Structure 1
Amino acid sequence: MDPRTAPPALPAELCDMLHDAFSPDAPDPVADQRLKRRLLQTLARQATASHLTVPPTDEGWRAFAPGIQMKLLHHDGQAAAYLLRMAAGAVIPPHRHPQDEECVVIEGRLHIGSLQVPSGGFHLARRGALHESVQAPAGALIYLRGAAPDAAQLI
Structure 2
Amino acid sequence: MSDTPRPFDDQPLDSDTLDALTAAAAAEPVPGGVAARIKHRLLGRMAQGEARHVTVQAADGAWQAFQEGVQIKVLHEADGVMSYLLRLRAGAVLPAHRHPTDEECVVLEGSLRIGNALVLHAGGFHLARQDALHAAITTDTGATIYLRGASPHPGCLV
Which TM-score band applies after superposition, normalised by the shorter structure?
Answer: 0.7 to 0.9
Any idea what the Cα deviations from partners look like across 1:127-154, whole Å, max 9, x if unmatched? 0100000111110000000000113322
Match of 1:28 in 2: 31
2:128 to 102, 125, 130: 125
Structure 1 segments, 4+ long, off by >6 Å, are none
Q: Distance in 2 between matches of 1:151 and 1:78?
A: 15
**Residues matched between the structures, number:** 133
2:52 to 47, 50, 53: 50
Q: Distance in 2 between matches of 1:45 and 1:34?
A: 17
Any idea what the Cα deviations from partners look like across 1:85-106, whole Å, max 9, x if unmatched? 0000101000001000000000
Match of 2:118 in 1: 115
User: How much has 1:125 moved relative to structure 2?
Assistant: 0.3
Q: Distance in 1 between matches of 2:122 and 2:114?
A: 14
Q: Distance in 1 between matches of 2:87 and 2:110?
A: 10
Q: Distance in 2 between matches of 1:108 and 1:82?
A: 17
Q: Distance in 1 between matches of 2:118 and 2:135?
A: 10
Match of 1:142 in 2: 145
User: How much has 1:55 moved relative to structure 2?
Assistant: 2.1
Q: Distance in 2 between matches of 1:97 and 1:50?
A: 28
Q: Distance in 1 between matches of 2:102 and 2:118?
A: 18
| Larger-gyration structure (1/2) | 2
Percent identity among equivalent residues?
48
Q: TM-score, normalized by length of structure 1?
A: 0.80
RMSD: 1.6
Q: Distance in 2 between matches of 1:144 and 1:67?
A: 17
SS across alignment from 1:144: strand
